[in-house]
Amino acid sequence: MSHDATQPLLTPLSMGPLTLPNRVVMAPMTRNRAENKDLIPVEIMATYYAQRASAGLLITEGSQVSPQGVGYMNTPGIHSESQVEGWKKVTGAVHARGGRIFLQLWHVGRISHPDLLGGALPVAPSAIDPGVDVYTPQGPKKSVAPRALETKEVEEIVVQFRKGAENARRAGFDGVEIHGANGYLIEQFLRDATNLRTDRYGGGIENRSRILFEIVDAVASAIGRDRTGVRLSPANIWNIPADSNTKALYDHVIDRLSGSGLAYLHLREKAADVSSIPHMVENVTATYRPRYKGVLMTNTGFDRETGNRVIESGLADLVAYGVPFISNPDLVERFAKKAPIAPADSSTFYMGGERGYIDYPTHA
């Protein structure tokens, strides 16, 4: 595809060992298609990702690093040999189309239910019920109070992330993204509303962010810092309350990650009005671009025009698109042609099967 100087989104970018042909990233999105008891990626997942391989980078749906990390039905894992084999079909199909793909490493922590965990309680930094609905094989159920992790178990989770990264590389992924956003386990450790621990993983900001830095270092030592991305959502209040000083927390975290040689930092903009919350970060990318040295990816609510604008302004290097990629497998080509963007059918986002997954047409 020829480079369109009027569309910065369509210009190449060097990211660690990779050269991305454009700056349009497919955001990680849970699609619940691993319909088997062992949560192994299935054939249609290879088709789905390969259809979207013209993206500068594909980031997979969150993939749990252990059976304890499951929070939704039919989400694929990256902790068993059979899962690694299943993912090989996905990476092979994407690479055959000339694409690049990172796997998102995930542990949901307390956003789960005993029905998804063989009867065991979900785990978390502290035993605080998130008060959410969880979709179980028996239908939606109220969440329960999780079990607080022992210190040794937290150390084991760090090792599970490292192993997940090793497995991802063996499965042929170009790198991994550590999921530190959206109210899942890492964010539960970061925030003082959900972390009441008194060991070295709780207390002040330094201790609450310790698990994140330990996971980043463990993953980086296994596969290289330049193949390791991190996703954070400073303005997130979904699944989790705000921190008492969100700005100070994320200033600390992002300052520590800055200049450390990561593949990228992936930041989510706010998805709800947070203006009444004290010490909240509202314009996430604009706040952290000056503080973060390295490749910065932004996400949430961008279209072609706003995506081009945020790249042109220098506020971000990459823009991740979620829903538009569901219904437009050729999103990059549509941006290039300025073609219309097809709407997505939200009723098929999580339902399983081919419908609303691999049957969206490309633009004529």
Biggest distance spanned by C-alpha atoms of the chain: 59
**Which residue, 323, 249, 259, 261, is CA-closest to 287?**
249
- How many angstroms separate the CA atoms of 70 and 160, rounded? 13
- How many angstroms separate the CA atoms of 75 and 59, rounded? 15
Contacts of 175 (CB under 8 A, 6+ apart): 16, 18, 102, 103, 168, 223, 224, 226, 227, 228, 229, 263
CA distances from 88 to 65, 150, 280 (A): 17, 34, 41
219 and 177 in contact (C-beta within 8 Å)?
no
Query: Of 72, 184, 264, 357, which is the active-site residue?
Result: 184
The amino acid at residue 304 is R
- How many angstroms separate the CA atoms of 178 and 104, rounded? 6
**Residue 357 designated active-site:** no
The amino acid at residue 317 is D
Contacts of 286 (CB under 8 A, 6+ apart): 315
- How many angstroms separate the CA atoms of 53 and 93, rounded? 9
19 and 12 in contact (C-beta within 8 Å)?
yes
- How many angstroms separate the CA atoms of 332 and 352, rounded? 25
Query: HSE (CB half, 13 Å, CA atoms) of 253?
Result: 33
Pseudo-torsion of CA 158, 159, 161, 165, nearest 10°? 140
- Residues annotated as catalytic (active site), given as ranges: 184
